[in-house]
Structure 1
Amino acid sequence: MIIVTRLDGREFALNPDLIERIFESPDTTVVMADGANYIVTESMAGIIQKIACFRARIISMARDYVEEEMPLPTPPKLSIIHPSGNPHTSGS
């Protein structure tokens, strides 16, 4: 989530994955995928920067999580089962 500010000074969080578009005219308006519109004090460039930082933080957390907290599983050992039951005999 990114934190943005309403014109009256109240802060709230937006899910950046649901932002459809942002425009300035002169106030910055954020249009969400569900059609909701939010007028905020941040500039369009400021919101884009917040989204980039949010995504970078998520990627960093995922990288650290995989390396430190969740080791990769050991792949299972596979063996060949011969239909005749004896690997040294031919099928004839």
Structure 2
Amino acid sequence: MIVVTRLDGRHFAVNPDLIERIFESPDTTLVMADGARFIVTEAMVEVIEKIAHFRARVISIAYNDDDEGATTRTSPRLSIIHPTGPAGGATTGGH
């Protein structure tokens, strides 16, 4: 979640994966996937930076034991699943 600010100064959190569009004219408006609209005090570029930071943090957490990054894993928690070869057999070239 990212924290943004309403025009009256109240903060709220929004799921950045549900933001469909962001535009400024002149206020910054977040248009959500369900059609909801939120007008926020942050500039569009600031909201985009918050989203990028959020996503980088998610990836960082996936590679580390904790938020602080104290212990790095030898393999990530996220991985790519490779498809099998023809008729369900294993592909050649192995891992």
Aligned to 1:51: 51
- State the AA in 2 paired with 1:13: A
CA distance in structure 2 between the partners assigned to 1:37 and 1:25 by the alignment: 13
Distance in 2, Cα, partners of 1:29 & 1:60: 29
Taking the aligned partners of 2:51 and 2:62, their CA distance within structure 1 comes to 17
Helix, strand or coil: the match of 1:42? coil
Structure 2 alignment gaps of length 5 or more: 66-71, 78-95
Structure-1 separation of matches of 2:37 and 2:52: 21
Asked if 1:41 is matched to 2:41, the reply is yes
C-alpha displacement of 1:67: 1.5
Q: How many residues align?
A: 70
Q: Percent identity?
A: 69
What is the CA RMSD across the aligned residues, in angstroms? 1.9
User: TM-score with structure 2 length normalisation?
Assistant: 0.69
What's the CA shift for 1:19? Answer: 0.2
Q: Which has the larger radius of gyration?
A: 1
Please report the TM-score for the alignment, with normalisation by the length of structure 1. Answer: 0.71
The 1-side partners of 2:64 and 2:31 are apart by 33
Q: Which amino acid aligns with 1:17?
A: D
Of Structure 1 and Structure 2, which has the larger fraction of its residues in helix?
1
Higher RCO (CA < 8 A, seq sep 6+) = 1
For structure 1, list consecutive stretches of 5 or more residues without a partner in the other structure.
Answer: 72-92
* Correspondence for 1:29: 29
The residue correspondences of 1:1-92 to structure 2 (distance < 5 A) are: 1-65=1-65, 67=73
